[in-house]
Structure 1
Amino acid sequence: MTTLDRIKKISKEKGWSLQTVAEKAGIGKNSIYRWGTKTPTTENLQKVAKVLDVTVDDLLGLEKNEKPKKVDIDDDDVLMTFEGRPIPDEDLEIIKRLLRGAKDERSH
């Protein structure tokens, strides 16, 4: 999804056209439409983000730093992956033993 697509989506959720967003942000009426092929300035992105009540990172589609999820390593319903690929069972067992060993060392 492009920056333009994200702006369209957020604008639509608010019931605004891109032209309305541009006017509220104080930028040219058709500026946002050109962002499909041109890179917007940081200043204009900030203005649009403020109008839409989102961050520039949201408009750019950058991932937010979410809290890590806690999982029980013995929970067989949890799929462990590395770089998007499942970890083979034999490797997963080695990882679990290493993690258990580290846990045991901390408790002493």
Structure 2
Amino acid sequence: MLFDRVKELSEQRGENLKVVAQKLGFSENAFYKWKTQSPKSETLEKVADYFNVSVDYLLGRTDEKRFYDSTEKNDVQTIAAHHDGEEWTDEELQEIQRFKEFVRMKRKK
């Protein structure tokens, strides 16, 4: 499942797995190793960030690619609205959402 998801995401970007691996600083065949070996969590996070999807999506635990649903995106936009600068990009809003999830996870520990 993991390998297939990464391959599909790469193809959607018009990139092959070798190119993506090199961009991320991995060996050329890193993704092919995932067919038989599990990657480290830091590696999964790096790939998820590159493709702008959740680790759960990569692992096949959900079919939702993003970190948030439309309601949560509105919450993030509300938080971001308190910024005095320019409009927020989708990438910046997603980063805010990831930070919000990080803080939430720390609170639960």
Question: Normalising by the residue count of structure 2, what TM-score does the alignment of the two structures yield?
Answer: 0.54
Q: Which residue of 2 aligns with 1:18?
A: 17
Q: For residues 7 and 38 of structure 2, what CA distance do their matches in structure 1 show?
A: 16
Listed as ranges, the matches of 1:1-108 within 5 Å are 2-63=1-62
Q: Is the 8 A contact 1:24 1:51 kept in 2?
A: no
Q: For residues 61 and 25 of structure 1, what CA distance do their matches in structure 2 show?
A: 21
- Secondary structure, in 3 states, of the residue corresponding to 1:36? coil
Gaps of 5+ in 1: 67-108
Q: How many residues align?
A: 66
For 1:47-75, what per-residue CA distance to the aligned partner results, in whole angstroms no more than 9, with x for missing partners?
11111121111101112597xxxxxxxxx
Q: For residues 26 and 42 of structure 1, what CA distance do their matches in structure 2 show?
A: 15
Gaps of 5+ in 2: 70-109
Q: Is the 8 A contact 1:22 1:48 kept in 2?
A: no
What is the CA distance between 1:39 and its match in structure 2?
Answer: 0.7
- Secondary structure, in 3 states, of the residue corresponding to 2:34? helix
Q: Is the 8 A contact 1:27 1:44 kept in 2?
A: no
* Percent identity of equivalent pairs: 40
Amino acid at match of 2:31: I
What is the CA distance between 1:8 and its match in structure 2?
Answer: 0.5
Q: Which residue of 2 aligns with 1:76?
A: none
Question: Normalising by the residue count of structure 1, what TM-score does the alignment of the two structures yield?
Answer: 0.55
